[in-house]
């Protein structure tokens, strides 16, 4: 199988990737491998914590768009996490 060129990852792409993974762990979207909803709140929380670390460590070094994306992702994912905890 020939080597496939993959486009370079951007910070925004990294945030989207982590957010999508978190949504999968929250049971909001199906696992792309199994096409099944597989809720794992421990991994969802770990991914949110990782995004929080990124926000803290990159503060002042992001473009306005990147900063807005990261803050929006965290706000939405925290809300969905609390909602998922309530509906266990």
- Render pLDDT for 58-84 as a digit per residue (tens, 0 to 9): 999 999 999 999 999 999 999 999 999
- Does some domain include residue 88? yes
Q: Cα–Cα distance between 59 and 26 in angstroms, integer?
A: 26
- Does some domain include residue 62? yes
Question: 53 φ, ψ to 5°?
Answer: -65, -45
Answer yes or no: is pLDDT of 88 > 70: no
Measured CA to CA in angstroms, residue 50 lies from 19, 21, 86, 87 at distances of 10, 12, 22, 23
Q: Tokens for 77?
A: 């994912």
- Does some domain include residue 63? yes
Residue 61, CB-side half-sphere exposure with 13 Å CA sphere: 7
Number of domains in the chain: 1
Domain boundaries, position 75: 42-88
Q: Which residue has the higher pLDDT, 29 or 5?
A: 29
- Does some domain include residue 81? yes
Give 18-38 pLDDT, tens digit per residue: 999 999 999 999 999 999 999
Answer yes or no: is pLDDT of 3 > 80: no
pLDDT of 5 reads 86
């Amino acid at each position: 199988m020939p080597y496939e060129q993959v486009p370079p990852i951007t910070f925004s792409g990294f945030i989207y990737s982590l957010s999508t993974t978190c949504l999968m762990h929250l049971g909001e979207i199906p696992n792309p491998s199994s096409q099944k909803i597989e809720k794992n709140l421990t991994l969802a929380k770990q991914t949110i914590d990782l995004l929080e670390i990124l926000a803290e460590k990159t503060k002042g070094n992001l473009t306005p768009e990147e900063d807005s994306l990261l803050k929006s992702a965290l706000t939405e994912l925290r809300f969905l996490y609390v909602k998922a905890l309530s509906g266990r």
